[in-house]
Structure 1
Amino acid sequence: MPDILIYIVFAMIFIIFSSIIFLLFGWRWIIRKMTHSFAKIVLTDNYQENIIELIPGLKHTGIQTMIENNLRAETGEVLHRPLGSSKKWPHLDSITFIPTQILPPLIDGEEEVNMAVTIGPKAKKPMKIQIPLMISGMAYGIALSSQVRLALAKAANNIGTAINSGEGGVMQEELDTAGKYILQFGKSDWSKETKKIKRADMIEVKFGQGALFGVGGKISPDNLTGNARQVMGLQEEEDAVIYDNFFEKQTLKDLKELVDELRKMTGGVPIGAKIGAGGKIEQDIDYLLEIGVDYIAIDGGQAATFGAPPILSDDMGIPSLHAIVRTVNHLEKRKKRNQVSLIVSGGMLVPGHFFKMLALGADAIYIGSAMLFSVSHGQSLKAVPFEPPTQIAWNQGKFKDQFKQEDGAKTAENFLTSSVEEMKMALRGMGKRSLNELSKKDLVSYDAHIAKMVGIPYSFKAWEEEQQQLEKG
């Protein structure tokens, strides 16, 4: 028996020693053989049989296009891509602010800066918020889970801003949690109860959005489950239908009567409209002015959504930058700039984006994608690496039950607080004490084309000369 043990011990020592020798030296031989074998295949196989065919193929089509075309081939159904367009739209990057360094003097860092905003100044009951950032309409049920919606509502209330309902269901608990509440009046049969309409601080008639425009659709019971169905008043096997129009054979007279009725029901809160930014945006604005809205929410072409056909997200609409410049110019032309408020969304992700849009003429900014990722923050790690991080936030998400509402409210509030503090710092750095002092005159661009189109000085030329030229027209 002892001899057997000795043999076993020696055998184990030999195996361990051999393994160490192999690990130290053998792996190099294996890698060399594999490399040589792979190189031979790559360098000698006919191109049509060569795995390297993927390189020019992917370079030609792109990885995303290849994947999306395969998904189309798999199902034969319309593809619904989440989070909007992935193409590079003309944006705000080439625009910069003009700092003050000598005169006028900078504002002391301890001095308070006024960031408050009033939406719908001509309405009987204008909506006043403490910051110019609002949470956009990411719908309960159709997109977000109840826990995420409640977290966002709490964050908005804590920081003194407003949250938009989106076109999903409206929970009573959310109304109780939120401070300022914007009810989106969509082309559907739900969220139109008189009690909820009267609770709202603003009503937003939704004609369209930047990633989907005005197109309606149907959501099957398989893709809309849980309490959201009860909140939306849907039967067990009933589709959730979003119509293409508010009225059959829709007219401006019908829409004006709708706006007037909503204004009467609410006792005079601002009644606005949301549209996707399109090539005939001036015509759309004229229609909205004719039906008598108190504010207009413009959603640029790079806006996101829970899911939209790529052709609508990528190949329709105009960029947010183009949209705000044209909208402000047209409102000024119609002498409505100080009467009708302007909210802008679509592609704004960081404080610099928000601040530039405010300088260009927006009264407030809707934030969507950035809020989605801030409210889920570290909690999104529960879904990765085997599922997308948004699976923690969607109503149909596999990890939605693991979302912690209090943590989400805190991180969402932190994001808004941090963003506003950055914008305050920028105002102080320009010698300003209030957001009301910010204007297009505080901007330049290092892109000559953008500078000309926006109507701001080109930074390669003397500012005074450029500004005088702009004022001359």
Structure 2
Amino acid sequence: MLLSLLAMKMLDPVMDEAMVKMMTEAYEDNPFLLVTALEKLTPRAAIEAAMRAESGTVLSRPLGSPVVRSPWQDILLNPRQLFSLPTASLKEVSTRTVIGPTAKKPLLLDIPIMITGMSYGGSLSLAMKEALAQGAALAGTSTNTGESAVTQEERKAARFLIGQYHRGGFLSGQEQLSQLDAIEIQLGQGAWGGAVEEPITIPKDEHLQKTWQLEHEKSPATIYSRMPGKSSTKDYITMIDSMKSQYDVPIGVKIAGTDYLEYELAVIAQTQADYIVIDGAEGGTSAAPPTLQDDLGLPTLHSLVRTVQWLKENKLRDRFSLIIAGGLTTPGHFLKALALGADAVYIGTIALMAAMHTQALKVVPQAPPSQLALYTGKMNDKLDIDQAARHLFQFLTSCTQEMKLAVQALGKHSCKELCLEDLVTVDRELAEWTGIRYAGQSRKKQTVELDEYTGSHTATETVAPTLH
């Protein structure tokens, strides 16, 4: 108490002088100018300008862009109560999900929430990769190697492991690919603005060098803008079909969402792929230049809606499973994405946050929580793998339970049954381009006819409702 009083007494004249200066001096000599400057520039732009001035190199921002343009909050789910009844019991609600149903070995998941590609070495520590694999396994869902290779530790911990056949070439060959439950050909990433060259500095880590099949720490490690050896669209089609002919597991193609989306989908439609991953610009990453994160690509919601519309227009919706990724964080997001046409969702940053949970206090406030998870994190040795896995599992369990409650309220029996009729929006413009009903317009009166034997109903919309 005494120390507090002494500190206040010492600060009082300093604060008095600062306040007088702010209230009386002209702007050019007034410290308040910093406030107006930050309002104009934004604190983020000012700090990043200072970082660029200090380093003179490309910035590398973890966890993705702070710019979120997908208006998920303007979309609401549509429960039923009387004209059509809610589902009788939660036990009737299924969250089972199938990726690549026509593949010889489809990927059968208990929930439609999957852990996205985050690489060991290029992104996360081996300990965090093990934790994500364990937590996903407990929840009955998949994890993903990202732009790395299969490690014994991750393969052992995972129930379902998706491997990214990527532009760095670290995951390739029969020995690696035969260990996977699905193969994802990674041609772009939302947080990187699509596909660009990404040199990777490899520390003196024998485990990582062996995993990536590098001879020593000075060996080059680069994620290229193109698949090595591929110089045409036809080369990519041939590569995807070749992969499909060699393996029984689902083969997927991952691209970043851009305004050329329909052109990209037209190419994928010429392949024998089983599933498509669309990664919106709001996706996260371990590190990418802010310009690629903030100013390139298409928001996740726009990417999803346009993908589903194109597949339906071309009668291809049933041919491909569709996974959407990029900034999805809540059960509400997941449900809306499924109702818009996705078969499953990928999550990344929010999965890391859930896994770290209170363990983040081991590094905060001295360092950001990312230092606990990243491969380059100075405190990643403090992560308790089992505890992180348990918290991820509990997060996924909580999300699933809330999703099942919502599905029950909608009168459906499965996440697979969700569709546009389960959504409504308060934004007229949003309604126009998504096909979701606009909440500002009243519904037409429904004539409901009950089947006397089964109690089921059919509803036919006629004129606007009136009271009698």
Q: One fold, TM greater than 0.5?
A: yes
1:132-211 mapped onto 2 (5 Å cutoff): 132-211=112-191
In the alignment, which residue of structure 1 is the partner of 2:384?
404
Shift of 1:29: 6.3
In the alignment, which residue of structure 2 is the partner of 1:327?
307
Residue 437 (structure 2) pairs with residue 442 (structure 1)? no
Letter in 2 for 1:209: Q
Looking at structure 2, the residues matched to 305 and 465 of structure 1 have their Cα atoms a distance apart, in angstroms, of: 49
Do the aligned partners of 1:169 and 1:228 also contact (CA within 8 Å) in 2? no
Q: 1:426 to 1:29 in 2, by over 3 A?
A: closer
In the alignment, which residue of structure 2 is the partner of 1:12?
none
Letter in 1 for 2:355: V
Looking at structure 2, the residues matched to 349 and 404 of structure 1 have their Cα atoms a distance apart, in angstroms, of: 23
- Aligned-pair Cα RMSD in Å: 2.2
Q: 1:28 to 1:65 in 2, by over 3 A?
A: closer
Q: 1:225 to 1:42 in 2, by over 3 A?
A: farther
Looking at structure 1, the residues matched to 445 and 262 of structure 2 have their Cα atoms a distance apart, in angstroms, of: 31
Shift of 1:351: 0.4
Do the aligned partners of 1:294 and 1:339 also contact (CA within 8 Å) in 2? yes
Residue 260 (structure 2) pairs with residue 287 (structure 1)? no
Shift of 1:39: 2.3
Shift of 1:226: 5.5
In the alignment, which residue of structure 1 is the partner of 2:201?
220
Looking at structure 2, the residues matched to 404 and 29 of structure 1 have their Cα atoms a distance apart, in angstroms, of: 45
What's the CA shift string for 1:326-360, capped at 9, x where partnerless?
A: 10010011111001111001010000000000000
In the alignment, which residue of structure 2 is the partner of 1:251?
232
What's the CA shift string for 1:36-74, capped at 9, x where partnerless?
A: 322222233342222111011000101111011111111
In the alignment, which residue of structure 2 is the partner of 1:88?
68
In the alignment, which residue of structure 2 is the partner of 1:233?
213
Letter in 1 for 2:438: Y
Letter in 2 for 1:158: L
Looking at structure 1, the residues matched to 8 and 361 of structure 2 have their Cα atoms a distance apart, in angstroms, of: 36
Using the size of structure 2 for normalisation, the TM-score is 0.91
Unaligned stretches of 5+ residues in structure 2: 447-459, 463-468
Shift of 1:293: 1.5
Q: 1:427 to 1:249 in 2, by over 3 A?
A: closer
Looking at structure 2, the residues matched to 468 and 301 of structure 1 have their Cα atoms a distance apart, in angstroms, of: 39
In the alignment, which residue of structure 2 is the partner of 1:16?
none
Using the size of structure 1 for normalisation, the TM-score is 0.90
Looking at structure 1, the residues matched to 385 and 97 of structure 2 have their Cα atoms a distance apart, in angstroms, of: 28
Shift of 1:292: 2.5
Determine what percentage of the aligned residue pairs are the same residue.
36
1:21-60 mapped onto 2 (5 Å cutoff): 32-60=12-40
In the alignment, which residue of structure 1 is the partner of 2:398?
418
Q: 1:37 to 1:114 in 2, by over 3 A?
A: same
Shift of 1:321: 0.9
Looking at structure 2, the residues matched to 452 and 96 of structure 1 have their Cα atoms a distance apart, in angstroms, of: 15
Structure ID, larger Rg: 1
Shift of 1:392: 0.7
Do the aligned partners of 2:132 and 2:389 also contact (CA within 8 Å) in 1? yes
| Aligned with 1:306 (options 286, 300, 313) | 286
Q: 1:170 to 1:241 in 2, by over 3 A?
A: same
Q: 1:330 to 1:29 in 2, by over 3 A?
A: closer
In the alignment, which residue of structure 1 is the partner of 2:413?
433
Looking at structure 1, the residues matched to 128 and 355 of structure 2 have their Cα atoms a distance apart, in angstroms, of: 7
Letter in 2 for 1:280: Y
Looking at structure 2, the residues matched to 272 and 464 of structure 1 have their Cα atoms a distance apart, in angstroms, of: 42
Q: 1:208 to 1:33 in 2, by over 3 A?
A: same
Shift of 1:157: 1.4
Looking at structure 2, the residues matched to 255 and 23 of structure 1 have their Cα atoms a distance apart, in angstroms, of: 68
In the alignment, which residue of structure 2 is the partner of 1:6?
none
1:204 is paired with a residue of what secondary structure?
A: strand
2:364 is paired with a residue of what secondary structure?
A: coil
